[in-house]
Amino acid sequence: MLMILGKPAPLLFGQLLLGIINGSFYAMLSLGLAIIFGLLNVINFAHGALFMVGAFVTWGLLHYLGIGYWPAMVLAPVMVGAFGLGLERTLIRFTYKLDILYGLLLTFGLALVLQGLFTNAYGSSGVSYSAPDLLSGTLNLGFMYLPVYRGFVVAAAIIICVAVWFVIEKTSLGALLRASTENPALVQAFGVNVPRVIALTFAAGVALAGLAGVLAAPLYSVNPGMGTDLINTVFAVVVIGGMGSIGGAILTGFGLGIIQGFTEVYYPAASSVVVFAVMAVVLLARPAGLFGRAA
Amino acid sequence: MLEIADLNAWYDESHVLHGMKFEVREGECVTLLGRNGAGKSTTLKAIMGLVPKRTGSIRFRGAELIAARPDTIGRAGIGFCPEDRGIFAGLTVEENLMLPPVVAPGGMSIADIHELFPNLRERAKSPGTKLSGGEQQMLAIARILRTGAKLLLLDEPTEGLAPVIVQQIGHMIAEIKRRGFTVLLVEQNFRFAAKLADRHYLVEHGQVVDMIPAHELAARAESLNQRLGI
């Protein structure tokens, strides 16, 4: 058997793939968090719960309505985004003028409520959802077997991240968002309805979490705690990448997934803490994060 | 075009404007003169709806704007160039220029703007705040010329700039006026304002205390200098 750095190649590549897949979710979720934090100055603790809702909506569309994976890929993010819009209009917008902790506590509470409601309805072990036929099976890459759905998730995550980065950094809509992040009062005086921009940005950010939930549904068990498991790591990713940096969130998300994958191979006991160890080191050297501008 | 009456404004507990009253007629260039802290900048912010609390009357083309939100005021056709210039660091020069939405037909074309401000074309891809102070000021004015806003509120466009740049800005404002824009200018630089404006309002302690038409300026220069503390 081929050995690389003292480990069997299939083991190494397998864990690397797992790392990249985890990194895909870290990147997609931290991207939404970074966008929301940049414009709303709200640390959205409900992001993981909305990711979970996205996965449940995907399952529910099939289970109750017979609507399959591909339509769900559009419908679930739209529904989660609309739900987010409702949360922003009825609750979150009242925290903008308060200390940042209020938004954090409110969204933390929302996360617990959502998780509780879904646990009550579906139990904590959750439900299962299988990948569409088109994406089932495995590919033999020569050095390893790649489950098609996993390859699809990684490709989709990269496309989503690049598309979001492009919209924010290279389009006039993105320029409007960046300007509103910097000086919302002046942008509003130019004639832009900034409160509406903020509400739609929150909706778009949580729709992104919903979309990640769709991608996750066939991969993980769809259960009420799936968001919480992920979101702690995602917050570490955001802190390491630098709050509010879009490119930083993407690169850090994938990078940390890969680091975690390798740790799983060489020292499995450390795999769940390695992200936080990296966070501690980065914060000691660069308090604003790897890509963040010093506050 | 713009009629201000009994305008009061507050920042939290401090009452800054105490019944401002003045008007700006179509095609005019009007200045608000006054010492630091007299309330000139606050007047512009109050017109744009950018103070926490204001009362009184702000009529623009007959419409009352005292209760309107800043975006409604911007959409009504008032362009604002703030004292700190408000150039966005996260946006390129071109993005800064294209940021304010078009609110009415009849704004200047990009070609016209580039002709008036050639530097903005050359540096289109640079971050907005990498420009010199004078260039940033020109960008801050240029971007509100595009939008179709016909009344421009300019807050101390010459502040902190070298004399040769101040002269350029002066030519620019004269050109803007020639093209039919109406300008409400806040200035500390009395000599700069004197060359441009049709009328001057003297502001003290948040009130208009005097109005001086351009042709009376020379005769009253001495008393004005005293009151402005020049």
Fold of B2-228: Rossmann fold (3.40.50)
| Cα–Cα dist A173/A5, whole Å | 47
What count of Cα atoms within 13 Å lies in the side-chain half-sphere of residue A285? 9
Q: Of A175, A189, A194, which is closest to B48 when you measure between CB atoms? A: A189
Distance CA B146, CA B71 (A): 17
A192 at the B interface (CB within 8 A)?
A: yes
Say which of A176, A183, A191 has its CB closest to residue B74.
A191
Pairing of strands B63-64, B53-60: antiparallel
Task: Enumerate the β-bridge partners of residue A146.
Answer: A139
Nearest to A177 by CA among A206, A197, A156: A197
Helix axes A9-40, A226-241, angle to 10 degrees: 80
Look at residue A268 and tell me whether its pLDDT is greater than 90.
no
- The verdict on residue A71 lying in a domain is yes
- Residue A179 scores a pLDDT above 80: yes
Closest B-chain CA to A171: B95
* Residue B221 neighbours by CB distance under 10 Å: 15
The C-alpha angle with vertex A12 and arms to A11 and A15, in degrees rounded to 5, equals: 85
Residue A5 within any structural domain of the chain? no
| Pairwise CA distance, residues B230 & B225, whole Å | 5
Instruction: Tell me what pLDDT residue A1 has.
Output: 62
Query: What ranges make up the beta strands (E) of B25-171?
Result: 29-33, 53-60, 63-64, 78-81, 151-155
Question: Which pLDDT band, with edges at 50, 70 and 90, does A293 fall under?
Answer: low
**Interval B189-229: pLDDT, tens:** 888 888 889 999 999 999 998 898 888 887 887 778 778 77
Chain B within 8 Å of A64 (Cβ-Cβ)?
Answer: no
Nearest CA in chain A to B49: A189
Q: How confident is the model at residue A295 (pLDDT cuts 50, 70, 90)?
A: very low
For residue B140, give the H/E element and its range.
helix B133-145
Percent of chain A topping pLDDT 70? 98
Tens of pLDDT along B47-79? 999 999 999 999 999 999 999 999 999 999 999
Question: Residue B56: phi, psi to the nearest 5?
Answer: 115, -145
> Could you count the other beta carbons within 10 Å of the beta carbon of residue A116?
12
**Is pLDDT of A174 > 90?**
yes
* Mean pLDDT of the A190-217 span: 95
φ, ψ of residue A269 in degrees (nearest 5): -60, -25
Q: What is the mean pLDDT of chain A?
A: 90
Distance from CA of B99 to the nearest CA of A (A): 7
Say if B48 is an interface residue toward chain A (CB within 8 Å). Answer: yes
Distance separating alpha carbons of residues A202 and A215, to the nearest angstrom: 20
- Per-residue tokens: B88: 């966005």
Q: Is residue A294 part of a domain?
A: no
Count of Cβ atoms closer than 10 Å to residue B222 Cβ: 9
A213 assigned to some structural domain: yes
Touching check for A178 and chain B: CB below 8 Å? yes
Q: Do A182 and B89 touch (CB under 8 A)?
A: yes
Cα separation, B11 vs B17, in Å, equals 10
Q: Which two tokens stand for residue B48?
A: 């744009």
- State what percent of residues in chain A have pLDDT above 90: 64
Residue with tokens 């000086």: A183
Is residue B34 over pLDDT 90?
A: no
How many domains does the structure of chain A reveal? 1
Alpha helices (runs of H) in A171-218, residue ranges in sequence order: 172-182, 184-189, 194-216
Residues A217-249 have pLDDT tens digits of: 999 889 999 998 788 889 888 888 887 678 888
Alpha-carbon dihedral of residues A50, A51, A54, A56, nearest 10 degrees?
A: -90
For residue A200, give its domain range: 13-285
pLDDT for res B219: 81
Domain assignment present for A179: yes
Residue A289 per-residue DSSP state: -
Residue range B28-53: mean pLDDT, rounded: 92
Radius of gyration of chain B (CA): 17
Domain boundaries of chain B, sorted by first residue = 2-228
What is the distance between the alpha carbons of residues A284 and A273, in angstroms, rounded to a whole number?
17
For helices A194-216 and A148-170, the axis angle rounded to 10 degrees is 170
pLDDT at residue B13 is higher than 70: yes
In a domain, A234, yes or no: yes
Dump strand ranges (E) for A58-114.
Answer: none
Task: Give the Å distances, CA to CA, from A72 to A55, A132, A213, A268, B148.
Answer: 10, 11, 10, 36, 44
- In DSSP terms, B113 is beta-bridged to none
Average pLDDT over chain B, rounded to an integer = 90
What is the per-residue pLDDT across A18-67, written as a single tens digit (0 to 9) for each? 899 999 999 999 999 989 988 888 899 999 999 999 999 999 999 999 99
The reply to whether A293 falls in a domain is no
A&B contacts, CB < 8 Å? 61
Specify the higher pLDDT residue, A291 or A161: A161
The pLDDT of residue A294 is above 60? no
Q: Indicate if the pLDDT at residue B153 is higher than 70.
A: yes
| Nearest Cβ partner for B101 among A178, A186, A190 | A190
- Model confidence at B230: pLDDT above 70: no
Tokens in use for A248? 């930083």
Nearby residues of A215 by Cβ (< 8 Å), 6 or more positions away: A24, A25, A28, A153, A156, A157
| B224 or B178, greater pLDDT | B178
% of chain B with per-residue pLDDT over 90 = 58
From the list A17, A21, A28, A48, the residue with the least C-alpha distance to A228 is: A48
Domain of residue A24, CATH code: 1.10.3470
Report residue A146 as tokens.
Answer: 């790649």
| Option in B48, B95, B103 nearest A175 (CB) | B95
Q: What is the pLDDT of residues A96-137, one digit of tens each?
A: 889 989 999 999 999 999 999 999 999 888 898 988 888 888
